[in-house]
Copies of this chain bind each other. A is one copy, B any other.
Amino acid sequence: MTQPTIKDIAKKLNISPSTVSRALNDHPDISAETKRLVEMTSKELNYFPNTIAQSLKTKRSTTIGVIVPEIKHDFFSSAISGIEKVAYQSGYTIMVCQSNESYEREVINTKALASQRIAGLVISISQNTVNGNHFKALQKRGMPIVFFDRVCDDVDASKVVINDEESAYKAVNHLIERGYTKIAHITGPLNLKICKDREEGYKKALREHSLFEDKDFIISSGLHEENGYQSMEALFNLGKIPDAIFAVNDPVAIGAFKKIKEYGLKIPDDIAIVGFSNNPITSLVEPPITTVNQPSFGMGQRAAELLIKQIESDAEFKPVTEVLKTTLIVRGSS
């Protein structure tokens, strides 16, 4: 694994490495002729600058770290694409890690990225993240960090979010308008702000329509499909059957959806269902599931934009929180 270096070019042309470096960077001190020669030889040797050495010297890095709970979730893979698009346009490459919803793994990832001396970090925290100390430690050294979707409340950084409470409120309101009255909510881990907020929106809608808030109708679990399935099972075992489900996200909605069908009930006649995120799958099942459209790609883009701005500006940094718009997509399940 030996790649040609600037020295190889220098030796070949009988000039100094400094001159080669300057020529490659189009420095005005260097004559056009020398630049031409260097350019030629560089092509000939198939030279790639050693980014490693460059960033060691310049103390600048063009790598952006990204940590998400799981790549395979459509929301995140789509957000990653958004991040990558912006990063690419600004000359950065991204380094993606998965926390797999584990706090420990998230801390390890954070340290690994810090060791790689990334220019900045874009992150959506795991469902088990209990505090933001690992982020604060990086921030103290001046590392720019931007959170998206699942933010860490105790860290003072830029954030790209949606209004979860309002979106949930609108979704539940929609169910109420459709005439559903026994609306259950399957939520996620309550240490995640997005889950708490969505639950708040749910409660607010019920309250405003003086609908009875049944504690049993709020069931807390994880964020995966199987959690939705199990939660729905628990609801059935309860004896009291709701006439509508508001799920914290689409995978959970799909899980509940499956269980309802298996149980032999009709959607939306017996039970209506509303999800969250507009995962492509929701439009393909029968009936298609009503959901809240969350601009995943756009959130990734915006997060990357904020991060790069922060990396490249030398002005005093002041964190901003951007709230992106959501829309309710009404489909056959409600």
Q: Which of A188-211 contact B (CB under 8 A)?
A: none
Q: Is A98 on the interface with B (CB-CB < 8 A)?
A: yes
Q: Is A96 on the interface with B (CB-CB < 8 A)?
A: yes
The answer to whether A52 and B2 have CB atoms under 8 Å apart is no
Residues of B within 8 A of A77 (CB): 71-72, 77
Interface segment, one of A11-19, A113-121, A149-157:
A113-121
Q: Is A166 on the interface with B (CB-CB < 8 A)?
A: no
Distance of A35 Cα from B217 Cα, bound (Å): 57
**Chain B nearest CB: distance from A130 CB in Å?**
19
The answer to whether A2 and B141 have CB atoms under 8 Å apart is yes
Residues of B within 8 A of A49 (CB): 115
**Contact among B71, B98, B111, B280 with A48 in the assembled complex (CB-CB below 8 Å):** B111
Q: Is A84 on the interface with B (CB-CB < 8 A)?
A: yes
Distance of A59 Cα from B3 Cα, bound (Å): 10
**Chain B nearest CB: distance from A41 CB in Å?**
16
Distance of A224 Cα from B80 Cα, bound (Å): 19
Q: What 6 A-B pairs have minimum CB-CB distances, sorted nearest first?
A: A286-B286, A1-B142, A72-B77, A96-B96, A51-B115, A71-B77
Residues of B within 8 A of A116 (CB): 51-52, 63, 93
Q: Is A254 on the interface with B (CB-CB < 8 A)?
A: yes
The answer to whether B112 and A93 have CB atoms under 8 Å apart is yes
Q: Is A285 on the interface with B (CB-CB < 8 A)?
A: yes
Q: Which of A272-309 contact B (CB under 8 A)?
A: 280-281, 284-286
Residue of B nearest to A261 (CB): B286
Q: Is A94 on the interface with B (CB-CB < 8 A)?
A: yes
Instruction: Tell me whether A59 and B142 are in contact in the complex, defined as CB-CB below 8 angstroms, given that A51-B116, A72-B81, A95-B95 are known contacts.
Output: no
**Chain B nearest CB: distance from A108 CB in Å?**
9
Residues of B within 8 A of A114 (CB): 3, 48
Question: Which A residues contact B (CB, under 8 angstroms)?
Answer: 1-3, 46, 48-53, 55-56, 59, 61, 63, 70-72, 74, 77-78, 80-81, 84, 93-98, 111-117, 137, 140-143, 254, 258, 280-281, 284-286
The SS class assigned to the A binding surface is: mixed
Instruction: Tell me whether A53 and B50 are in contact in the complex, defined as CB-CB below 8 angstroms, given that A93-B112, A117-B3 are known contacts.
Output: no
Distance of A334 Cα from B130 Cα, bound (Å): 48
**Chain B nearest CB: distance from A129 CB in Å?**
18
A-B contact pairs, 25 of them (CB 8 A): A1-B143, A2-B141, A50-B117, A51-B115, A51-B117, A52-B52, A52-B55, A52-B61, A53-B56, A56-B56, A63-B116, A70-B81, A71-B77, A71-B80, A71-B81, A77-B77, A81-B98, A93-B97, A93-B116, A95-B95, A96-B96, A281-B281, A285-B285, A285-B286, A286-B286
Residues of B within 8 A of A74 (CB): 72
For the complex with contacts A71-B84, A72-B77, 20 further pairs of A-B residues with Cβ separation under 8 Å are A1-B59, A1-B141, A1-B142, A48-B114, A48-B115, A52-B117, A56-B56, A63-B116, A70-B81, A71-B71, A71-B77, A71-B81, A77-B77, A81-B98, A93-B116, A95-B95, A95-B96, A258-B284, A280-B281, A286-B286
Residues of B within 8 A of A285 (CB): 284-286
Residue of B nearest to A254 (CB): B284
